[in-house]
Structures are given as C-alpha cells and as structure tokens.
Amino acid sequence: MEAKLLYPSECILAEGPLWHPERNSCFWVDIEGGVLYEYGWDSQQVNTWSFDHKLAFVIQGKGSELILGLDRRLARFDLQTEKLEWLEDLEPNLPNNRFNDGACDRRGRIWAGTMDMDTKEGGGTLYCIEEGGTSRKKVENVSISNGLAWSLDNRTFYYIDTPTQKVQAFHFDEASGDIVGDKDVIQVPNDMGSPDGMAVDAEGKLWIAHYGGFGVFRWDPSSGRLLEKIDVPVPNVTSCAFAGPDLDVLIITTARENMSEADLAKYPDSGGIFYAKTKLKGIMPFSCPW
C-alpha cells in the first residue's frame, strides 16, 4: 500500500496529527515553523495559526479549546477567540530544550516529552501533567522523546526514545498514572529508519512512523514482529494518526528538515501530509477535560 498526498504543506517538521471528531477535521503542527494546521474533512479547506514559538503538539481540549505544547510550556488556545493562555512551564531552567511529542491518557492527564534542540544525549525528560499543574517526571535521560500510546486494555504504556531504535512497554496504572517495569517490545533495525510517532489500531497493534524509512510500519507489540508497511514517497516520516468519521484513514506527517536541495528535488513532497485508507480502524484519541 502506498500513501497519497493529502496536502502539500511543505512543513519543515510536520508532527502531531490529531483527529478532532467534533470539528470533523484533522490538526497537525510544523514544529520549527510554529504553525498549527487544520484540515476540514468535508470542505478540504485548510486553516492555519502561527505562533512565535516552536509548536510540538496539539491535544483536544474543552469546546473550542486546544492544548498546545509551545517551546517547553503548555498553553490553552481558543480557536474561536484566538486567545492564548499559558499554563505550565516544565523546564524554565533549560532554555535549549523544547517539547517534541505529547498525548492525553484516558483520565485526561497530559504526557509530554522534551529534548535538547542540539539533540544532546539524555537531555530530555518525559513528564505527566495533571489538572492544577502538578507535573511528575516519568522517564529521565531521554534523547528524543517521541511516540506515546496505550494498549487497548489501558494496562500498558508504550514509549519511544528515537535514538534507542526501540519501543519500550511499561505497566500502567490508570488510577495513579504510575508506570513501572519497562521492557523492550520492538527493536527497529537501523536500515529501516528510526521510530518516531505512533498510533494504535483497534486490534492493539502499533503503527509507527519511521524517520528515514520511507513509511509507516505496523508492528505487533506482543511478538515484536513486523506485520505490514505503508510506503510513503518521502524519506522523513514523522508521525501518524487514525482520522475520518470511521477512523479508517491514516494521516501521515513528514519533514523536509536536514535535506539538501538535491534531496528536495528528488522528494519534492517532503514536509507534506499524506493519507492511506486502511482495512483496520484506529481508536479515538483522548481529550483533555481541563
């Protein structure tokens, strides 16, 4: 199966695709450009909002609100009034750090990871932020914090620190948000690119974007086996999410960062947003109630 171009956004570093069922639209961000995109599913029209910050992720909030990861800070953004309300600054003493990925769990807690912008090894941390601003460090000494996902029974938390080339699995306690006992469940060979963002389907399998790997790969976290691949006609595939009213379309983000003019001439759709109709459905993303 090969993905097709949905929108030629030419993002430097597109990331964080999110299906918003109430708006019947899909959001994504350009981290380096500080731009938030919204693609109307029926209208096929694109709206954009620009910020003077690096914009790492978007999470559905209450009503017309979104939760954004800007630099190292969480913010609440109202799509109707365009009011931006700052919430938490996770690492005020680390000015060279920024968020790199974020997601919400079933209880409405926000999980967000940081990284050093010079990709210093071990420079980042994965945090869990609860209503009221309480934040807890969950995984320390992270290099490039990426994919976040939960198993269908909500007992396992999956996490990717990209340079490790693996997916870690932790026992997850939904009530407390505690994670313990990590183990490696997927090891990505170097010649297949590096694991980046990921999504879970209705069978509990992981769809992982491979940066430098020209595709999204479906993995079985129980066996560690590779099950299938969606080919993407650009190298740097960054993340994916199930979208559409039936959650049966995989939206795929890509990047054009660190590519030469020759590379961009060869892969001109780099930084664009792609899609692929899947036989399997995904699960609805969780939203933040505060």
Q: At residue 133, does pLDDT exceed 90?
A: no
Domains delineated in the chain? 4-277 (2.120.10.30)
Looking at residues 91-101, what average pLDDT do you find?
97
The model's confidence at residue 127, banded by pLDDT at 50, 70 and 90, is very high
Task: Report in angstroms the alpha-carbon separations of 51 from 60, 121, 158.
Answer: 18, 28, 30
Average pLDDT, the chain: 97
- pLDDT tens for 183-202 read 999 999 999 999 999 999 99
Q: At residue 132, does pLDDT exceed 90?
A: no
Looking at residues 51-74, what average pLDDT do you find?
97
- pLDDT tens for 12-42 read 999 999 999 999 999 999 999 999 999 999 9
